[in-house]
Structure 1
Amino acid sequence: MTGNAFDPLPLPSSVPVPMCFYGDPYKVAKSDEEDTYRQRYWMCFNFAFEPILRQRRINKMVEDKEMMEKRRREEAAEKEHKEEEKRRRVAAYREEREKKLEGAHRAKTTMEENLDALRKRK
Structure 2
Amino acid sequence: MSRPPRLCSCGRVVPHGTRCACQIASSRARNARHDAKRPTATQRGYNSEWRAARAEHLALHPCCALCSAPANVVDHIIPHRGDKALFWDRNNWQSLCTSCHSRHKQRHEHRA
- TM-score for both structures, normalised by structure 1: 0.27
- TM-score for both structures, normalised by structure 2: 0.28
Pick 1 or 2: higher relative contact order, CA cutoff 8 A, min separation 6.
Answer: 2
Q: Give the structure with the larger helix fraction.
A: 1
Structure of higher CA gyration radius: 1
